[in-house]
Structure 1
Amino acid sequence: ASWTGRAPASPASAPRPSGARRRCSAARVRAPDGRPGRLDDAVAVAANNDFSMALRRDGTVVTWGEGSSGQRGTGERTAPPVPTTVRAPDGRGALTGVTAIAADGHTELVLRGDGQVLAWGANAGGMVGDGTREDRALPVPVRGLDGAARLDGAVRIAIGGQHGLALLRDGRVAAWGRNELGQLGDGTRQDRLTPVLVSGVGGEGVLDGVAAVASAEKHNYALRGDGTIVAWGNNTAGQLGDGTVQPRTAPVTVVGRSAPKLRGAARVFAGEAYGAAILTDGTLLTWGAGGSGQLGSGKRTPRSRPGTALTAAGTVPADALSVGVGERHLILLLRSGAP
């Protein structure tokens, strides 16, 4: 099932890599680095802003699309018309050991099996997390907390609009990059060139007990082990789900449909200015911007607290498995046979 409205058209003059042409039907991605055949053994993909990347079974990463900020990860700022393999930080050979990827289209993140996070690409806001504002055409380690050389112990990553998040093994969350709307959750609006810990709810202490994170352009969610969700950052359309439209520089609790706290959440997703959660019973809840119908509420109005989505027949969809969130549309995956 999907709900959608009209999204802004892509500018006809948007630059494309040399030799690229538009496709109106599906096409197989070519093997990287000019080798014959097709890209295979992919286990995950990510895409944004004229850029795509794939994680392969052997722990290497392949990129294609825009490259002017070094986001191809090859050491060059070019956009070859064929996929290329991301290189190691020293430029010698391929980057290996990667277990997760996150694409912004300008700045890219990867997580390695040893818990290390690396980044490359645009860095004007410090979103590479290496302590500088210098664009990086090769991966560099994201710096650690309190001046450590690198961030270790990460188990999940997410990237929003010019900021990154890493969920640490101990349930805390590290954030870095742009912070003009409090999207780093550290209680300030100060950009951070290296990671800082997200504050606790209301700015008290440090946020902990987190099981998953989701990031959008200027706001973020953290799903806690007790099934509650906290949010921070921009809130002009009610995307923090706390019943207000007030931006928050530290996490606030997402409220329930008719309760002070949403409970029983199993998964959380971040759209451009809205959010979605799937509960343990398979119920889908949405909140935030709704002008294009992306909340599936039957209306085109925003809402600042979670509410149920509806099908075209006016029924509440059951047995939700996952959600795909676009800028202004949402796609819901249901269990086979669900109404």
Structure 2
Amino acid sequence: MKKSSRTTWWAAAIAMVVAAGCARAHTGDAVPTPEQAARGTDAGVSPMAHVRGDAGAVECPTWTAPIATAQVSAGANHICALGVDGRVRCWGDGESGQLGDGSFVSSAEWVEVSGLSDARRISAGNAYTCAVRGDATVACWGGLWRGTRTGAGLARSVTPQAVAGLRDVVDVTSGGAVACALDTRGEAWCWGDPLGGRLARVAGLSGLVRIDAGYAHACGLDAAGVVRCWGGNDAGQLGDGTRAPSLTPVRVGLGRAAVAIATGDRHTCALLDDGTVSCWGGNGYGQLGDGSTTDRPTPREVEGLADVTSIHAGRHTCAVTGGRTLCWGENRYGELYDGSHTPHHRPHATAIAGPIDTHAVLTCSTLSTGAVQCCGRVPGSESGER
């Protein structure tokens, strides 16, 4: 991809972040194996099915798929679950085709994505969803510009469509208006609305083991534990001490190796090799966990956390440690999973009972039964209409 094309892409993305109402949020953890998912966790069904918080009812509805869930992924107004059978079921807003069932119809109950039986990894974005298939290609559906065999076009596709030019893919991450894929060579490839569907390899990156896309920035983690970020930087989410956007990935000074990353709306967090967590960038909701709402353009350790095993970010942040999940940040819709609408600017205990995924204002958990439960701006719920 020519530099001019990359410049156009990120310039558009940086401009869009100002108007963005929500961003794709990502998690820094491993996908459960089918065997792990089938066994579930030791915890029972979460007590959060319907609780009353400080500002009224917080609804946390539960959906039960016909087979055990291997992974759940939360989008802006839809949710998808990958079953151990390789099939994907989605529910929520379907106006852009993001449910993948062949229609533009929304659904309060899960519907099966058409023509997809070999998914290995899924990622839900703002109004679209992508999956890594068994042959290491990527298919997406919903509202996202994409490449096709006949060129680029605006995908309001109601069924999965292959992203042309992508192969040997091991992971995919869906952001606000851009998606990225990680291949077996450790290279990152991104595409989306600002690119007009064109696929671009991110220059200056190699040996990546993880990649995560926010709304207008993205970050990659290499095998040496080095984190590099690029794109929009209005809140310091690139972590280089400035607020200047960068088309070239910049190294984040963490002081030690990272083992996982999670990008939120306008902030980023890294799980370090000593089990601690550092965050940087936007902090308007207290999502950096430092007790303030002041943006931080360089990493700062989240106090009170130790032995963390995974991290997750939206307009809030969650960390799993010692069998507990602690969350902090925005809680307008009850997304902190504590039965209230009270925001917290430091790590706070939750009622989460299993593996989770987060979006801007949504947190979903896979229960020991294999069912999926979500708190926050849940499509079709009272909380979602607030």
Q: TM-score normalised to the size of structure 1?
A: 0.75
Counterpart residue identity of residue 344, structure 2: R
- Do 1:173 and 1:210's aligned partners in 2 also have CA atoms closer than 8 Å? yes
> Cα offset for 1:47?
1.3
Structure with higher RCO (Cα < 8 A, 6+ apart): 2
Deviates more, 1:41-50 or 1:224-233: 41-50
State the distance in 2 between where 1:278 and 1:236 align: 23
CA separation of 1:156/1:225 partners in 2, compared to 1, >3 Å: closer, same or farther?
A: same
Correspondences of 1:228-239 after superposition (within 5 Å): 228-239=276-287
State the distance in 2 between where 1:283 and 1:16 align: 36
Aligned to 1:78: 154
> Quick check: 1:302 aligned with 2:386?
no
State the distance in 1 between where 2:146 and 2:245 align: 21
State the distance in 1 between where 2:366 and 2:275 align: 21
> Quick check: 1:113 aligned with 2:167?
no
Give me the CA root mean square deviation: 2.7
- Per-residue deviation, residues 65-107 of structure 1 (Å, max 9, x unmatched): 114xx3356531232443211111xxxxxx2100000011521
Correspondences of 1:4-153 after superposition (within 5 Å): 4=58, 20-24=103-107, 25-30=109-114, 38-67=115-144, 70-71=145-146, 75-79=151-155, 80-88=157-165, 95-123=166-194, 135-144=195-204, 151-153=205-207
CA separation of 1:329/1:137 partners in 2, compared to 1, >3 Å: closer, same or farther?
A: closer
Aligned to 2:360: 327
> Quick check: 1:247 aligned with 2:307?
no
- Do 1:60 and 1:98's aligned partners in 2 also have CA atoms closer than 8 Å? yes
> Quick check: 1:218 aligned with 2:266?
yes
State the distance in 1 between where 2:159 and 2:287 align: 38
- Do 2:265 and 2:360's aligned partners in 1 also have CA atoms closer than 8 Å? no
> Cα offset for 1:336?
6.4
- Per-residue deviation, residues 284-312 of structure 1 (Å, max 9, x unmatched): 111111222222334322111102114xx
CA separation of 1:64/1:335 partners in 2, compared to 1, >3 Å: closer, same or farther?
A: closer
CA separation of 1:76/1:27 partners in 2, compared to 1, >3 Å: closer, same or farther?
A: same
- Per-residue deviation, residues 222-270 of structure 1 (Å, max 9, x unmatched): 00111000001111121001122110001100011xxxxx211111110
CA separation of 1:16/1:59 partners in 2, compared to 1, >3 Å: closer, same or farther?
A: closer
CA separation of 1:82/1:283 partners in 2, compared to 1, >3 Å: closer, same or farther?
A: closer
> Cα offset for 1:28?
2.8
Counterpart residue identity of residue 282, structure 1: G
- Do 2:128 and 2:140's aligned partners in 1 also have CA atoms closer than 8 Å? yes
Higher strand share: 2
- Do 1:71 and 1:108's aligned partners in 2 also have CA atoms closer than 8 Å? no
> Cα offset for 1:136?
4.5
Aligned to 2:311: 268
- Do 1:66 and 1:72's aligned partners in 2 also have CA atoms closer than 8 Å? no
In the alignment, structure 1 segments of 5+ residues that lack a partner are: 31-37, 89-94, 124-134, 145-150, 201-206, 257-261, 311-316
Aligned to 1:181: 235
Counterpart residue identity of residue 282, structure 2: N
- Do 2:356 and 2:366's aligned partners in 1 also have CA atoms closer than 8 Å? yes
CA separation of 1:121/1:326 partners in 2, compared to 1, >3 Å: closer, same or farther?
A: closer
CA separation of 1:335/1:184 partners in 2, compared to 1, >3 Å: closer, same or farther?
A: same
- Do 2:96 and 2:104's aligned partners in 1 also have CA atoms closer than 8 Å? no
Counterpart residue identity of residue 113, structure 1: T
Q: TM-score normalised to the size of structure 2?
A: 0.67
Counterpart residue identity of residue 78, structure 1: L
- Per-residue deviation, residues 34-82 of structure 1 (Å, max 9, x unmatched): xxxx212111111112211110111011111114xx3356531232443
In the alignment, structure 2 segments of 5+ residues that lack a partner are: 1-45, 50-57, 61-75, 79-92, 371-386
State the distance in 2 between where 1:105 and 1:268 align: 19
Counterpart residue identity of residue 137, structure 2: T
> What number of residue pairs does the alignment pair up?
281
> Cα offset for 1:5?
5.5
> Cα offset for 1:331?
2.7
> Quick check: 1:159 aligned with 2:234?
no
CA separation of 1:73/1:233 partners in 2, compared to 1, >3 Å: closer, same or farther?
A: farther
- Give the percent of matched residue pairs that are identical in Structure 1 and Structure 2: 33
